[in-house]
Amino acid sequence: GENVEQHPSTLSVQEGDSAVIKCTYSDSASNYFPWYKQELGKRPQLIIDIRSNVGEKKDQRIAVTLNKTAKHFSLHITETQPEDSAVYFCAASTSNFGNEKLTFGTGTRLTIIP
């Protein structure tokens, strides 16, 4: 089955600097890669996703890149703000009709230092 590795496990950056979180996946059939932000005790919230026919996607300060050949994808947050502090999870999915189970990475605790 799919295995998703995520690094680093913790990341501290100064407010205003950029943060990068990296994930690798094992199943070359995976074709959907969402990123979720989870604040303490809250639900995972989708912040951005990318599909395998696209190499990069950007939404304001957040961007995701995908390298299908190397089987890795990354989350980039620019101009970080204190409210970006949370745990971020990457995930991968192989779309079979009626089933798109997400396999999550182990999470990155991002701390923005004011």
Partner 1 sequence: EPEVTQTPSHQVTQMGQEVILRCVPISNHLYFYWYRQILGQKVEFLVSFYNNEISEKSEIFDDQFSVERPDGSNFTLKIRSTKLEDSAMYFCASSVTSPPGTQYFGPGTRLLVL
Using the minimum distance from each CB to partner 1, give the nearer residue, 40 or 114: 40
Distance CA 65, CA 97 (A): 25
Which window, 15-23, 61-69, 71-79, 86-94, contacts partner 1 (CB under 8 A)?
86-94
- CB count within 10 Å of CB 75 equals 25
Distance CA 8, CA 11 (A): 7
**Per CB under 8 A, which of residues 34..73 are in contact with partner 1?**
34, 36, 42-46, 49, 51
- CB count within 10 Å of CB 66 equals 22
Using the minimum distance from each CB to partner 1, give the nearer residue, 71 or 78: 71
Give the total residue count for the chain: 114
Using the minimum distance from each CB to partner 1, give the nearer residue, 27 or 49: 49
Contact positions vs partner 1 (CB under 8 A)? 31-32, 34, 36, 42-46, 49, 51, 89, 91, 93, 95-107
